[in-house]
Amino acid sequence: MGARSPRFLPAAIAVGLASGLALAGCSSSSSKPAAPGTSESSASSASSAASSSSSAGAGTALPDLSGKSIQVLAEWSGEEQKAFQKVMDAFHAKTHASISYQGAGDQTVTVLKSKLAGGGAPDVALVAQPGAIAQLAQAGQIKPLSDNVLTAIDANYAQGWKTLGTVNGKVYSIMFKAANKSTFWYNTAQFDQAGVQAPKTWDDFVKAAGTLSDAGITPVSVGGADGWTLTDWFENVYLSQAGPEMYDKLAHHQIKWTDPSVSKALTTLKQLFGNDKLMSGGKSGALQIDFNTSVTQTFTAPPKAAMVYEGDFAGSVITSTTKAKLGTDAKFFPFPAAGSLANFVVGGGDAALATNDNPATMAFIQFLASPEAAEAWASAGGFLSPDKNVPLSTYPDDTTKAEAQMLVQAGDNFRFDMSDQAPAGFGGTKGAGEWKDLQDFLNSGDVNAAAAQLEKDAAKETWQ
């Protein structure tokens, strides 16, 4: 997932390197990605709204940072950058600090490393790859978060989110914007026609698929042409069967891909992948259908499938490419539990890190770890927060509320996308590694051969 797959909005999928600087208090004037270069504008409107006290306004108490400046690097452009601008405006109004932003698209980590090596590093970066954050921490290029930030994290996040940002016993990052990749979308009319209810377990899912098939409705649309979608299928099955501890071990290659737990998950997936009647186009069709098509064809007229698995970002594909309405024509259910762990979420997101320990830098991350910062974006849509104290009423619609509630309720059973934690050669390369191996498995159904090839490819890489 992360920078290697669509994560939130369609506009974010094709973002290249788009950089633009704007002082807090001035919204972006366009919903299109910023052109390369920099721009700067006044923050007078936000400044006039702020009080002069050290804890200006309600919510998070922050120091007066008049005269201080903060540079932020992240991947967002277009509508997402406009929404993040609201967060920066709120921080400026509370602290009087000047805050500028650069968007780097899917090159954020590359740009950050270049700036750390050559000078001019941003004070704060929001990064979607925990493996990259761990590397930077181990190299001493980023700083542990301050006590004030840790206090905010402890007050607002489940322990698992803190653990995710911990390297060698110190916390270096905290998730600000999250993605829920355990959402399974379905066409309500197709379910109603077959008399099918949203399944809660994998066995229920297989049974529902059979009922749909018997009613002449193709059950599932699989976007197997994009190998990353298959890694997401595997991760949800594996987490619910093997549990969080085994998931962590496999994510860091501390157990082999030939472990029985992997074979068990592959065998479970074969119940779907090995049955041509249950997939749109069968195996060969699934391998030619990309992610966007897999979603769109489930909600167009006539639909080619009754349901499609992918993360919360599938909702924006539905609304932008079909006439289906979220919450009525298109709904989702949590990924069916294939094991004893029922309350789980596989996901991803953008975590804030600091390249220095300046008070202004830490104050901004402290703010990002507060409900106040999350609420500034959540109301605009296209955003989920792992902060347990963000009111669900902040989110703009029932679908987003349900996605956010799932994310928070998972608590310590949230796990970051496994393939995004892996070396890119294994977990993030088209036509290679895990992507290719799972495509071959979808085609062949050979569990033992797939496990052996996954281990062979994993063994080629250097793991964190």
Q: What average pLDDT does the segment 106-116 reach? A: 95
Cβ neighbours, 10 Å, residue 448:
10
Q: Distance between CA atoms of 98 and 240, rounded to whole angstroms?
A: 45
Residue 167: which residues within 8 A CB-CB, separation 6 or more?
A: 133, 134, 137, 138
**Which CA distances in Å does 374 have to 32, 309, 397?**
23, 27, 16
Say what the pLDDT of residue 5 is: 44
Cβ neighbours, 10 Å, residue 110:
14
Say what the pLDDT of residue 264 is: 99
DSSP 8-state assignment for residue 77: -
Number of H helices, E strands in the chain: 22, 12
Residue 429: which residues within 8 A CB-CB, separation 6 or more?
A: 435
Q: What average pLDDT does the segment 183-198 reach? A: 98
Q: What average pLDDT does the segment 118-135 reach? A: 94
- Superfamily for the 183-343+422-458 domain: Periplasmic binding protein-like II (3.40.190.10)
Q: Distance between CA atoms of 86 and 89, rounded to whole angstroms?
A: 5
Which of the four pLDDT bands, split at 50, 70 and 90, describes residue 4? very low
pLDDT(33) > 60: no
| For the chain, domain boundaries | 183-343+422-458
Q: What average pLDDT does the segment 305-331 reach? A: 97
Minimum mean pLDDT among 1-5, 209-213, 218-222: which range?
Answer: 1-5
In DSSP notation, 390-426 reads S-GGGSSSHHHHHHHHHHHHHGGGEEE-HHHHS-HHH
Q: What average pLDDT does the segment 405-430 reach? A: 93
Q: What three-state secondary structure class fits 345?
A: strand
**Which stretches within 96-187 are classed as H helix?**
108-118, 130-138, 147-156, 159-164
Cβ neighbours, 10 Å, residue 139:
10
pLDDT(36) > 90: no
Q: Distance between CA atoms of 33 and 19, rounded to whole angstroms?
A: 8
**Which CA distances in Å does 211 have to 181, 199, 203, 215, 306?**
26, 12, 12, 6, 11
Q: Distance between CA atoms of 63 and 51, rounded to whole angstroms?
A: 11
pLDDT(3) > 90: no
Say what the pLDDT of residue 424 is: 85
Strand bridging mode 166-167 / 414-416? unpaired
Q: What average pLDDT does the segment 328-349 reach? A: 97
pLDDT(126) > 60: yes
- Phi/psi region, residue 100 (left: phi>0; alpha: psi -120 to 50; beta: rest), is beta
Say what the pLDDT of residue 96 is: 98
Say what the pLDDT of residue 59 is: 73
Which of the four pLDDT bands, split at 50, 70 and 90, describes residue 82? very high
Q: What average pLDDT does the segment 276-298 reach? A: 98
Minimum mean pLDDT among 105-109, 142-146, 189-193, 372-376: which range?
Answer: 105-109
Say what the pLDDT of residue 49 is: 32
Q: What average pLDDT does the segment 146-161 reach? A: 97
Say if residues 20 and 14 touch (Cβ distance below 8 Å).
Answer: no
Q: What three-state secondary structure class fits 203?
A: helix
Residue that the structure tokens 């064809």 belong to: 297
Say what the pLDDT of residue 215 is: 98
pLDDT(70) > 50: yes
Say if residues 72 and 122 touch (Cβ distance below 8 Å).
Answer: yes
Q: What average pLDDT does the segment 56-78 reach? A: 88
When computed from its CA atoms, the radius of gyration of the chain, rounded to whole angstroms, is: 22
Choice between 415 and 15, residue whose per-residue pLDDT is larger: 415
Q: What average pLDDT does the segment 301-325 reach? A: 97
Q: Distance between CA atoms of 314 and 295, rounded to whole angstroms?
A: 7
Q: For the whole model, what pTM was predicted?
A: 0.85
pLDDT tens-digit readout, 352-409: 999 999 999 999 999 999 999 999 999 989 999 999 999 999 999 999 999 999 999 9
**Of 228, 222, 211, 216, nearest in space to 185 by CA:** 222
In DSSP notation, 354-373 reads ESS--HHHHHHHHHHTSHHH
Q: Distance between CA atoms of 153 and 365, rounded to whole angstroms?
A: 10
Beta strands in 269-344 (DSSP E): 307-309, 330-334
CA 385, 1, 346, 142: dihedral to nearest 10 degrees?
A: -60
* pLDDT averaged over every residue in the chain: 89
Our measurement of the distance from residue 251's CA atom to the centroid of its chain's CA atoms, rounded to an integer in Å, reads 16
Say what the pLDDT of residue 16 is: 31
CA 169, 171, 177, 181: dihedral to nearest 10 degrees?
A: 0
**Of 406, 417, 269, nearest in space to 351 by CA:** 417
pLDDT(232) > 80: yes
Structure-token pair, residue 385: 């927060």
Q: What average pLDDT does the segment 123-142 reach? A: 94
Which of the four pLDDT bands, split at 50, 70 and 90, describes residue 464? confident
Say what the pLDDT of residue 222 is: 99
Which of the four pLDDT bands, split at 50, 70 and 90, describes residue 131? confident
Highest mean pLDDT among 6-10, 40-44, 226-230: 226-230
Say if residues 139 and 117 touch (Cβ distance below 8 Å).
Answer: no
